[in-house]
Amino acid sequence: MATVQLKNVCKRFGTAEIIRNLSLDLADKEFVVFVGPSGCGKTTLLRMIAGLEEIDAGALFIDGVRMNETGPADRGLAMVFQSYALYPHMTVRQNMTFSLRLARVPQEERDRKIAAAARILHLEEYLDHKPGQLSGGQRQRVAIGRAIVRNPKVFLLDEPLSNLDAALRGQMRGELGRLHQDLAATMIYVTHDQVEAMTMADRIVVLRAGRVEQVGTPQEIYRRPANTFVAGFIGTPPMNMLPARIITRESAGVRLALPGQSTVSLPLASNASNIGDAVTLGVRPEGLKPQSTGVLSGTTHLVERLGAITLIHVDLDSGGRAIAQVGANEEVRTRERISLAIDADHCNLFDHDGNALP
Amino acid sequence: MRDSVTSRTLVAVLAWTIALVMFFPIAWTILTSLKSEGSAIESHHLLHFRPTVENYVEVFIGAGYLGFAVNSLLISIGATLFVIALGVPCAYSMAFHPTPHTRRLLLWMLSTKMLPPVGVLMPVYILFRAMGLLDSRSGLILMDTLMNLPLAAWMLFTFFKEIPKDILEAARMDGARWFEEIRHLLLPIALPGIASTSLLSLILCWNEAFWSLTLTASNAAPLSAFIASFSSPEGLFFAKLSAASTLAFAPVLAMGWIGQRRLVRGLTFGAVK
Domain with residue A192: its CATH number is 3.40.50.300
Of A76, A59, A72, A38, the C-alpha closest to A190 is: A38
Query: At residue A14, does pLDDT exceed 90?
Result: no
Question: Is B242 part of any domain?
Answer: no
**Binary contact (A85, B167; C-beta < 8 A):** yes
Please, are residues A154 and A166 in contact by the beta-carbon 8 Å criterion? no
Average pLDDT over residues A195-216: 94
Q: What is the mean pLDDT of residues A313-322?
A: 92
Considering the domain architecture, whether residues A221 and A196 belong to the same structural domain is answered as: yes
Domain that holds residue A249: 240-350
**Whether residue A205 sits in one domain with residue A84:** yes
Whether B2 maps to a domain, the answer reads no
* Shared domain check, A116 and A246: no
The answer to whether residue A358 is domain-embedded is no
Measured between CB atoms, does B100 come within 8 Å of chain A?
Answer: no
Distances (CA, A) of A301 to A287, A314, B156: 19, 6, 59
Given pLDDT bands bounded at 50, 70 and 90, which one contains residue A206? very high
Residues in chain B: 273
Question: Does A135 score more than 60 pLDDT?
Answer: yes
Contact between chains at B174 and A88 (C-beta distance less than 8 A): no
State the 10-residue block means of pLDDT for chain B, 273 residues long: 79 94 90 82 72 84 84 94 94 90 90 86 92 91 93 92 90 91 89 88 89 84 82 69 86 81 61 35
Closest C-alpha among A72, A69, A80, A68 to residue A51? A72
Q: Which of B172, B173, B182, B189 to mutate to test the interface with A (most CBs of A within 10 A)?
A: B173
| Spatial distance between the Cα atoms of B244 and A341, rounded to a whole number of angstroms | 98
CB distance A296 to A289 below 8 Å: no
- Contact B126/A at CB under 8 A: no
What is the average pLDDT value for chain A, to the nearest integer? 91
- What pLDDT is stored for residue A219 in this prediction? 95
> In this structure, what CATH number is given to the domain that contains residue B148?
1.10.3720.10
Q: Is 50 exceeded by the pLDDT of residue A113?
A: yes
Same domain, residue pair A259 and A329: yes
Identify whether B43 is part of a domain: no
- A80 in the same domain as A226: yes
Q: Hey, are the CB atoms on A83 and B173 less than 8 Å from each other? A: no
B106 part of a folded domain = yes
In a domain, B245, yes or no: no
Size of interface A-B (CB pairs under 8 A): 58
Residue-wise pLDDT tens digits, B108-165: 988 888 888 888 889 999 999 999 989 899 999 999 999 999 999 999 999 899 888 8
Residue-wise pLDDT tens digits, A55-64? 999 999 999 9
Looking at A233, A255, A286, the residue that finishes a domain is: A233
Structural domain count, chain A? 2
ipTM higher than the 0.90 cut:
no
Q: What is the mean pLDDT of residues A21-38?
A: 94
Task: Flag whether B241 is in a domain.
Answer: no
* pLDDT for position A158: 94
Residues A60 and A206 in one domain: yes
The answer to whether position A170 is within a domain reads: yes
Are B164 and A77 an interchain contact pair (Cβ–Cβ within 8 Å)? no
Cα diameter, chain A: 77
Phi/psi-derived region of residue A14, left when phi > 0, alpha when psi is between -120 and 50, beta in every other case: left
What residue in B sits closest to A72 (Cα-Cα)?
Answer: B173
Residues A51 and A198 in one domain: yes
A207, A233, A259: which is the final residue of a domain?
Answer: A233
B170 in any annotated domain: yes
- Clarify whether residues A96 and A150 are in a common domain: yes
- What's residue B232's pLDDT? 59
Residue A26: its pLDDT value, please? 95
Interchain pair B166, A150: CB under 8 A: no
Does any domain span residue A20? Answer: yes
Closest CA to B44 of B56, B59, B31: B31
Is residue A41 one of the residues assigned to a domain?
Answer: yes
Check whether residue A173 and residue A275 sit in a common domain: no
For residue B8, being part of any structural domain is answered with: no
- Domain of residue B93: give its range: 64-229
State how many domains chain B has: 1
Which of A218, A233, A248 lies at the terminal end of a domain, its last residue?
A: A233
- B182 CB near a chain A CB, below 8 Å? no
The whole-number average pLDDT for the span A145-153 is: 91
The per-residue pLDDT for B271 is: 40
A152 shares a domain with A27: yes
Q: Is A357 inside any structural domain?
A: no
